[in-house]
């Protein structure tokens, strides 16, 4: 029996998060106030975020202590296993060695609780009563409902309408943890009503749902807003994924050649790969590869520019790869990847050539996911299937070249609540919905003018 | 931070199953041939089971080596964690210490793969091409589809119709692993057609689905039958759950006072509790408590008698607690507990006063499940909610008496594919469907005459 699962002992779980900002030098530019075009005053964020998270958003400290109550919750499912995909390798006939970090073992089924637990904790500490947020396919929303239940907070979730309808089990999961779920765009906010007035059948997007959730938090003192990706403090909290992976690869005696994660807002990819940045920036040869859907190709076809994080232009301007905040992605099943922008940290690293991005269509991703399910046994989330696809593509490339690369990807979530997407696939109803050049130029035409 | 998760290191995962038959002396009576009333000839089973499993069904050996390829698959998710339910304890205000063994971390989401992987392996070794089986809520069917995918076998699943309709995601899961799923009763077998002729809208039962699956296996040389509970070899394979739990309790410095598992066919309960039998039979004070639904109370209201394992009278007669093989349980959400009989080993131990049984109604079980989800974070399967209910009841009893009991239960599966049941609960549509005295006397009236 080959030892294919590498478990990090509980007493070696990281006690600090890694902050990649410390190693990014001058790569990052500050968020801007859209009214003035000047860097925002951090205090402007205090209407919707607690002070502790605003500080984490800005700090250049390399290591940040993880609070005990957060470690305590992590312990329910962390450290997560790193697994060698021996059966997949055999099935592909590749000389590559494929590993995946299994973040699907959390109660909510993805990496999202790594930051949700932390954000719920810091907001509870700040005396907040309720968190509002957005969710695409529901991974983030359920993670935050779970975390709010753990710390005694209420949770209000704006769920992108197309996902709300495609994935009824997600809203039931959130309700089981005590959360309240509203399909977005909704008539419960000004932002939602404005969108519905233009398009009453609008299928929604993460950008729209963010506008609704932010509006609620901004207008209610006891409610804060919580974001599941994009922001620096989210990347920070997710770094536990990559920190564990590094230790586990050491235990296995492996050096990674390729690191792969899917990107929607960027958090699972960042959390998984950023802890390897010091080595990469120090000259070690590691290919760090982000995978986005061809239906929402913010990095591979978007522009590196200042843009709003949301549709209703309520957030500060962030420098990032974007398709324009007015861009509405086609309704692919990977709802968590349907975001017009990209985390500024991920964007800056792409722009500086440190990491690379590639895009894949929906159907080949599902094919890869089914191959993975039938060889390795785990059913990937549609988002995760993008990482699986590219891990397989890289391994097949090794088959051609004979290279014995070590390919490591983040299995960011399971697809047990996305099975209707698989059902569609088997019924031949799953389409490769692409975004057209017209959609992209229309989105980019509405970028805000800065400076 | 209190260490509330007890992980058994991978190199201490048990390498042998424990066979409780070795310690049950003369408690067990042999299966009978219904035609002659005489003990069956083991060779009669070879039409549907491989020789290796027939031997495991009969053997009195205390320890059975787990084959390497089975250990290898177990390693994907085993050893499973033992977790102290600190938040639940606090919420209840109980002096008791509550632990749960988390079997929900397997790819199929329950304890079922422990035997499914073993059965797929032994059948593959015997040259079988396909396995047929029945499933209630789908936990077993998906475990077997997963396991067949791992060993390159086809899988045909008869799924009880009420669950097939209530739980569409389960059939999608089975399809993702390559399985074929047919709602039962169906027109694909003589047994199914006979039932439909009497009642075209029949909601099905495990007993009926067993008849269909056995009929297919008996009539096709390359197909064997696989049962997810009831039989001795299934109890054997599940013993890894209790063996790990014993080690983990030792690591935590605890001696259990109460062990709790839900029972449908009996396998999760047996696997969890039987490894404690030597101590119990040796005089150690442990309460071993099985929980069944009041809607299908085979042990608490049935008869200890020889009966068929299936509805169509195709199986040998087994001495067990039964409501009669013609009994059709009301359509509660805990489909895995809707079985008229009970594992002969569990039955014999109840009959000899070694273990106890109790019954709970559907609604209080869901209430307990929601309490558990909101304190501990995991969403229980409807079956598992029965164990959660009684663990909470025992802990509340300790609150009254002040006793600091150690209560340990088997968290046999998660409810992520059963969320429609929770949705029903929140919508106020979940009923306490009971079985009436008339239903029971009607079922018992059709018990076969023996000897």
Q: Tens of pLDDT along A382-432? A: 999 999 999 999 999 999 999 999 999 999 999 999 999 999 999 999 888
Cβ-contact A185, A281 below 8 angstroms? no
Alpha helices in B190-305, H assignment, sequence order: 190-198, 206-218, 232-251, 267-273, 277-281, 298-301
Tell me whether the omega of the peptide bond preceding residue B83 falls within 30 degrees of 0, making it cis.
no
B71 contacts in chain A (CB < 8 Å): 1
Average pLDDT of span B275-302? 97
Q: Do residues A364 and A391 touch, judged by C-beta distance below 8 A?
A: no
Taking CA–CA distances from A80, the nearest residue in chain B reads B77
Convert the pLDDT of each residue in B52-84 to its tens digit: 999 999 999 999 999 999 999 999 999 999 999
Distance of CA A193 to the CA centre of its chain: 27
Q: Is B399 helix (H, G, I), strand (E, B) or coil?
A: helix
Cβ partners under 8 Å of residue A124, min gap 6: A151, A152, A153
Residue B53: the pLDDT is 98
With an 8 Å Cβ cutoff, are B173 and A419 in contact? Answer: yes
In a domain, A263, yes or no: yes
Residue at A241 is within a domain:
yes
Residue A365 to residue A296: CA distance in whole angstroms:
14
| B412 located within any domain | yes
- Phi/psi of residue A306, nearest 5 degrees: -75, 135
**Distance of alpha carbon A266 from the chain centroid:** 5
Which residues on B lie below 8 Å from A72 (Cβ)?
Answer: 1-2, 4
Q: What is the CATH number of the domain that holds A371?
A: 3.40.50.1100
Among A238, A279, A286, smallest CA distance to A412 is for A238
Residue B407 or residue B338, greater confidence: B407
Banded pLDDT at B430 (limits 50, 70, 90): confident
Instruction: Look at residue A2 in the predicted model and tell me its pLDDT.
Output: 57
- CA-to-CA dists, residue A49 to A42, A46, A260, A416, angstroms: 10, 5, 31, 32
Residue A302 lies in a domain: yes
Candidates B8, B76, B120, B248, partner chain A, best to mutate (most A CBs within 10 A): B76
User: What is the pairing mode between strands B16-18 and A303-308?
Assistant: unpaired
In a domain, A19, yes or no: no
Q: How far apart are CA B306 and CA B303, in angstroms?
A: 9
Q: Which residues of B touch A379 (CB under 8 A)?
A: 107, 173, 176-177
DSSP state string for B144-202? HHHHHHHHT-EEEEEEEHHHHHH-HHHHHHHHHTT-EEEEES-TTSHHHHHHHHH-TT-
Asked if A67 and A121 count as a contact pair (C-beta separation under 8 A), the reply is yes
pLDDT for A3 beyond 80: no
Sign of CA pseudo-dihedral B18, B22, B24, B30:
positive
Q: What is the pLDDT of residue B44?
A: 86
Shortest CA distance to B450 belongs to which of B353, B336, B322, B286?
Answer: B322
| A164 within a domain of the structure (yes/no) | no
Least confident of A186-195, B90-99, B202-211, B222-231: B202-211
Domain range for A380: 67-107+232-444
Q: Do B373 and A149 touch (CB under 8 A)?
A: yes
| B330 Rama class: left (phi>0) / alpha (psi -120 to 50) / beta | beta
Q: Do residues B325 and B340 make contact, with C-beta atoms less than 8 angstroms apart?
A: yes
Q: Look at chain A and count its residues.
A: 451
Set of chain B residues whose Cβ sits within 8 Å of the Cβ of A374:
149, 176-178
The ipTM value here is 0.94
| Interchain CB distance below 8 Å, B416 and A109 | yes
pLDDT tens digits, one per residue of A50-68: 999 999 999 999 999 999 9
Q: What's the confidence (pLDDT) of residue B205?
A: 86
Structure tokens at B206: 């495990």
**Alpha-carbon separation of residue B74 from A1, B105, B113, B348, B411 (angstroms):** 11, 11, 8, 29, 17
Pairwise pLDDT comparison (A92 vs B336), residue with the higher score? A92
The total number of structural domains in chain A stands at 1
B2, part of any domain? no
CA distance B63 to B65: 7
CA gap A208, A315 in Å, rounded: 12
> Are B167 and B138 spatial neighbours (Cβ–Cβ below 8 Å)?
yes
Domain assignment present for A60 = no
Selecting from A107, A374, A419 the residue whose C-beta is nearest the C-beta of B169 gives A419
The sign of the CA dihedral B374, B375, B377, B379 is negative
DSSP conformational letter for B241: H
Candidate from B4, B177, B370 with C-beta closest to A75: B4
Nearest-CA distance A17 → chain B (Å): 17
SS3 A317: strand
CA distance A430 to B144: 27
The token duo for B292 is 């069944």
Binary contact (B373, A72; C-beta < 8 A): no
> Is pLDDT larger for residue B432 or for residue A378?
A378
Mean pLDDT estimate for chain B: 95
pTM value is 0.96
How big is chain A by its Cα radius of gyration, in Å?
20
């Amino acid at each position: 029996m080959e030892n294919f699962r590498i478990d990090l002992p509980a007493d070696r779980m990281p006690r600090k998060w890694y902050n990649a900002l410390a190693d990014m030098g001058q790569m990052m530019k500050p968020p801007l106030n859209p009214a003035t075009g000047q860097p925002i005053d951090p205090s402007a964020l205090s209407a919707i975020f607690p002070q502790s998270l605003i500080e984490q958003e800005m700090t250049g400290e390399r290591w940040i202590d993880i609070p005990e109550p957060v470690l305590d919750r992590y312990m329910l499912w962390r450290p997560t296993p790193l697994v060698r995909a021996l059966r997949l390798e055999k099935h592909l006939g590749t000389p590559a060695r494929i590993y995946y970090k299994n973040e699907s073992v959390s109660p909510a089924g993805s990496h999202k609780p790594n930051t949700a637990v932390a954000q719920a904790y810091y907001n509870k500490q700040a005396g907040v009563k309720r968190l509002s947020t957005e969710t695409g396919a529901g991974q983030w929303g359920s993670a935050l409902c779970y975390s709010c239940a753990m710390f005694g907070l209420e949770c209000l979730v704006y769920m992108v309408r197309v996902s709300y309808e495609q994935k009824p089990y997600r809203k039931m999961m959130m309700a089981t943890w005590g959360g309240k779920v509203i399909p977005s765009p909704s008539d419960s906010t000004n932002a939602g009503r404005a969108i519905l007035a233009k398009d009453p059948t609008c299928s929604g997007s993460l950008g729209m749902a963010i506008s609704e959730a932010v509006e609620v938090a901004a207008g209610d003192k006891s409610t804060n807003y919580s974001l599941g990706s994009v922001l620096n403090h989210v990347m920070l909290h997710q770094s536990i994924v990559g920190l564990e992976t590094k230790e586990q690869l050491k235990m296995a005696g492996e050096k990674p050649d390729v690191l792969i994660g899917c990107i929607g807002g960027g958090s699972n990819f960042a959390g998984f790969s950023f802890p390897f940045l010091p080595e990469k920036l120090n000259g070690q040869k590691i290919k760090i590869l982000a995978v986005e859907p061809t239906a929402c190709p913010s990095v591979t076809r978007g522009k590196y520019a200042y843009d709003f994080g949301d549709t209703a232009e309520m957030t500060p301007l962030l420098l990032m790869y974007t398709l324009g905040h007015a861009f509405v992605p086609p309704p692919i099943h990977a709802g968590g990847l349907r975001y017009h922008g990209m985390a500024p940290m991920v964007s800056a690293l792409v722009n500086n050539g440190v990491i690379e991005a590639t895009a894949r269509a929906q159907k080949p991703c599902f094919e890869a996911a089914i191959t993975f399910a039938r060889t390795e046994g785990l059913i990937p989330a549609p988002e995760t299937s993008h990482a699986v696809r590219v891990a397989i593509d890289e391994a097949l490339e090794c088959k051609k070249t004979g290279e014995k690369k070590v390919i490591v990807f983040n299995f960011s979530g399971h697809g047990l609540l996305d099975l209707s997407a698989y059902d569609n696939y088997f019924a031949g109803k799953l389409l490769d919905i692409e975004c057209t050049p017209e959609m992209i130029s229309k989105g980019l035409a509405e970028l805000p003018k800065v400076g």
